[in-house]
Amino acid sequence: MRILKITALIGAALWLSACRQEKVVETPPPAPVYVPPPLISLELARPVLKNKRGPVGANINFINISPSTYQYILFRTTAYDKNGKIVKPRKSRDHRAYLRVAGPIPPGEYSSGHNWENTWKGTNVQCIDIDHVEIVFADGSIEEASGDRLTKLNTESCFN
Give the length of the chain: 160
Amino acid at 9: L
Q: In the chain, what are the domain boundaries?
A: 40-152
Which uninterrupted H or E stretch holds 63?
A: strand 56-64
Identify which of 93, 84, 88 has the alpha carbon closest to the alpha carbon of residue 56. Answer: 88
Q: What is the pTM of this model?
A: 0.68
Of the candidates 116, 147, 157, 158, the one whose C-alpha atom is nearest the C-alpha of residue 40 is 147
Does the domain at 40-152 match CATH 1.20.144? Answer given as: no
* Per-position pLDDT tens, the chain of length 160: 677 777 777 776 666 665 556 677 788 888 888 777 777 878 877 887 766 666 788 888 888 888 888 899 888 888 888 888 888 887 767 788 888 888 788 888 887 777 888 777 777 778 888 888 888 888 888 888 776 666 666 545 565 4
Indicate the residue type of 106.
P
Q: Which helix (H) or strand (E) holds 19?
A: helix 2-19
